[in-house]
């Protein structure tokens, strides 16, 4: 669980980076303005911010992937509700699970499916 604690601590110390995993492209197709400010740091860390937004065909609106997941080499995973930014860490009651074993490969499969239909978040 140390890796999850380190990740959480890093995000608490740098709220600009913490806001990125919850980033969404707006209705205008543009990314959140703060993404450009941290893109190089994310690239250096090999962190990829993806845009998962699929228009619904049977109604208005779109579908998004709302789960918050940290996957570590398909060996361990955190799955939870935290948006991984300062507000969630300090003011919200969030729930997350640390997962090991066979269930992690199922989580990895779900994430692979999401990545397969997602594009990289544009910078600006």
Q: What is the pLDDT of residues 41-98, one digit of tens each?
A: 888 888 777 777 777 788 887 777 778 888 888 789 999 988 777 777 788 888 899 9
> What is the DSSP code (8-state) at residue 120?
E
- End-to-end alpha-carbon separation of the chain, Å? 35
Q: What is the DSSP code string of 19-44? A: TGGG----TTSPPPTHHHHHHHHHHH
| Confidence label for 12 from pLDDT (cuts 50, 70 and 90) | very low
Instruction: Convert the pLDDT of each residue in 94-115 to its tens digit.
Output: 889 999 999 999 999 988 888 8
Rounded Cα distance between 105 and 44, Å, is: 26
pTM of the entire structure? 0.61
Residue 31 has a CB neighbour count (10 Å cut-off) of 19
Q: What is the DSSP code string of 53-107? A: EEE-SSSSSEEE---EEEEETTTEEEEES--SSHHHHHTS---EEEEETHHHHHH
Q: Name which of 69, 66, 81 is nearest 108 in CA terms.
A: 69
Question: Are the beta carbons of 78 and 38 closer than 8 angstroms?
Answer: no
What are the tokens at 7?
A: 């990740």
């Amino acid at each position: 669980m140390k890796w999850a604690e380190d990740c959480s601590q890093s995000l608490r110390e740098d709220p600009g980076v913490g806001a990125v995993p919850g980033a969404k492209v707006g209705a205008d197709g543009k990314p959140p303005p703060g993404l450009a400010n941290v893109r190089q740091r994310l690239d250096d860390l090999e962190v990829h911010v993806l845009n998962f937004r699929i228009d619904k065909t049977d109604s208005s609106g779109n579908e998004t992937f709302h789960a918050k997941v940290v996957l570590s080499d398909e060996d361990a995973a955190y799955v939870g509700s935290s948006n991984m930014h300062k507000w969630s860490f300090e003011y919200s009651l969030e729930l997350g699970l640390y997962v090991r074993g066979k269930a992690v490969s199922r989580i990895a499969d779900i994430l692979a499916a999401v990545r397969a239909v997602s594009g990289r978040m544009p910078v600006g």
